[in-house]
Amino acid sequence: MNEFFTINTCEGEGVDPQDAGIAHLQLNRPERMNTMAPAFFPALRDAVRELDAAGRTRVLLISSTGKHFSAGMALETFASQDALLDTSTARARLAFQSTLRQLMDCFSALDEARFPVLCAVQGGCIGGALDLAAACDMRFATADAFFSVQEIQIGMTADLGVLQRLQHLMPAGLAREMAYTGERLSAERALSAGLVNAVLPDQAALLEHAMGVARQIAGKSPLAMAGSKLAMNHARDHGVAASLQQMTLLQSAIFDVEEMGRAIMAWKLKKPGEFAPLHSTEKAE
């Protein structure tokens, strides 16, 4: 347990079969606008990687509580005298780089997971929260949601992945406008730009829609789903020729006629397929 979020893995008796394989991580500090303290990052990383290693999760939904999704990094973090923020000497700067790479890795865990990650945003998705959302596979928003690269407002360059990922999710000029001005991007404009997949009227409708998409994903072959994510992530970061070569190797590794037979039967019957979980990658004690 931690103070930042809860996780429901939809396992055990009494769980609706269509929810099997869906993990729901919910930020739960609405009284603090779900701000992120330093301890939040490794907690998120470890939770996602534990779900991934176990192999039973087919899709992860990240949502939040309260009026806003998250206001990003708590401002008091920057005002602290924490040695981790020290850049006064060469040794301190070297340590700072190592710490920053570790923080980046906490959101990269979402991008690298074998399952798709969905993000449901209500209200503000600000600063570090947008770094988190940008690392997810899909984003959904309420009509009152807005997105902001807040870091520029406090005199720093955003550094946890949003500047690197945002230009792959929306027009580069608009991504740069957000990065340079810090102005809010409304849900309506985020939808037209492709940053979000859908805009819903309120938080209840948002969760219902996002959970519906999660159920569609959870009903598909987790092997084919993991392969699709691997292929699309590789293509995002490489050229077409290299990605096609990677696809030949990937498909030769995961092509499974029996899995396809189960998928075809489920498709014909219009119901979720019955698939074995992915193998666990948990290390033996």
Answer with the residue of higher pLDDT: 70 or 77.
70
Q: Is the pLDDT assigned to residue 39 strictly greater than 60?
A: yes
Q: What is the pTM of this model?
A: 0.95
Q: pLDDT value at position 13?
A: 64
CATH classification number, 5-218, choose in 3.30.70.270, 3.40.1640.10, 3.40.1190.10, 3.90.226.10: 3.90.226.10
Q: What are the residue ranges spanned by the domains of the chain?
A: 5-218, 222-269
Instruction: Count the Cβ atoms, other than its own, within 10 Å of residue 204.
Output: 11
Q: How far is CA 41 from CA 17, 110, 132, 192, in A?
A: 32, 12, 10, 31
d(CA 209, CA 12) in angstroms, rounded, equals 24
Q: pLDDT value at position 78?
A: 76
List Cβ<8 Å contacts ≥24 apart for 256-265.
256/223, 259/221, 259/223, 259/224, 260/221, 262/221, 263/220, 263/221, 263/224
**Bridge pairing between strands 117-121 and 124-126:** unpaired
Q: pLDDT value at position 1?
A: 66
Q: Sorting pLDDT into bands at 50, 70 and 90, what band is 273?
A: confident
pLDDT tens, 177-195?
999 999 999 999 999 999 9
Give which of 143, 151, 114, 148 is closest to 232, Cα–Cα: 114
Q: Sorting pLDDT into bands at 50, 70 and 90, what band is 174?
A: very high
